[in-house]
């Protein structure tokens, strides 16, 4: 009797770890079955919420031992992929307009079947896609256009009516991609501006130095360098005229008086 009691107690103690191990394995199996995830990517077309139109792709991700994935739209087979990335393309125009369910079914190397959560989308026509995209894009373009016009206007006003350049005479400068021109009023070289107006092969532009607007042509590098050298000459102080001594002044006055008497 005592022996039987001990055996029952040992059985009870042994059965608990077995049951716990069974629960762990069962839970792992449930988790493994939920590891297949289906993604839908847009290649080209319209996508807004659950509405799609155009060229798209389905991609499935799963455990390392995932061997193949079969993609379906409703009950229609799209295709089976047997190597990573498990991805396949489809076009909504090949299916009827309306709601469709997308799903992926995977097979592991051990023969286990994994099923993704279904994804539901509404396939719309190209016209509906364009109209929906227009309702989204056009207001954004309008806002961007207004912002660009405002920034352009502020920049233009600051440049057109702004301060003149304080660049010293003969200072080194860069003329940028548009090159430089020589102002016909002050003869100083300046950089051509992108906002200048093109008129019959010339550019109606504003000189940064004197603020004068005039028609100018893009000058060669040699002419710009010559104009810069001319600025250096302007920057040099004029040679003062030496003052005459009193004897020379008297002699000049006598000469001038003789000329007047004649």
169-200 residue pLDDT tens = 767 778 888 889 999 988 889 888 888 888 88
**Digit-coded pLDDT (tens) for 239-251:** 555 666 777 766 7
β-partners of residue 98 are 123
Angle at 78 between CA 37 and CA 86, to 5 degrees: 40
Vertex 96 angle, CA 90 and 100, to 5°: 70
**At residue 155, does pLDDT exceed 70?**
no
From the candidate CATH numbers 2.60.40.10, 3.40.50.300, 2.102.10.10, 3.40.190.150, the one assigned to the domain spanning 37-129: 2.60.40.10
- What are 1-45's pLDDT values in tens digits? 555 555 556 555 545 454 444 444 444 443 434 489 999 999 999
The pLDDT assigned to 28 comes to 41
Handedness of CA 60, 62, 67, 69 (dihedral sign): negative
Q: Check residue 134 and give its pLDDT.
A: 65
Domain boundaries, the chain: 37-129, 180-235
């Amino acid at each position: 009797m005592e022996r039987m009691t001990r055996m029952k107690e040992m059985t009870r103690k042994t059965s608990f770890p077995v049951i716990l191990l069974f629960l762990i394995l069962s839970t792992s199996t449930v988790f493994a079955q939920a590891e297949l995830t289906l993604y839908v990517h847009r290649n080209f077309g319209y996508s807004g919420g659950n509405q799609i139109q155009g060229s798209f792709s389905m991609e499935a991700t799963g455990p390392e031992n995932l061997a193949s994935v079969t993609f379906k739209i409703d009950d229609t087979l799209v295709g089976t992929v047997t190597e990573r990335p498990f991805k396949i393309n489809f076009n909504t125009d090949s299916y009827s307009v309306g709601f469709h369910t997308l799903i992926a079914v995977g097979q592991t190397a051990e023969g286990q079947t994994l099923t993704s959560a279904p994804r539901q989308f509404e396939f719309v026509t190209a016209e509906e896609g364009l109209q929906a995209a227009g309702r989204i894009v056009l207001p954004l373009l309008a806002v961007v256009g207004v912002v660009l016009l405002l920034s352009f206007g502020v920049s233009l006003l600051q440049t057109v009516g702004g301060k003149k350049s304080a660049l010293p005479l003969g200072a080194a400068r860069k003329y940028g991609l548009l090159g430089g021109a020589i102002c016909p009023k002050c003869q100083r070289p300046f950089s051509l501006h992108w906002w200048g107006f093109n008129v019959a092969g010339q550019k109606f532009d504003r000189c940064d130095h004197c603020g004068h607007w005039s028609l100018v042509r893009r000058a060669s590098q040699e002419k710009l360098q010559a104009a810069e050298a001319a600025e250096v000459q302007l920057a040099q102080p004029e040679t003062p005229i030496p003052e005459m001594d009193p004897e020379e002044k008297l002699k000049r006055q006598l000469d001038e008086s003789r000329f007047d008497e004649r």
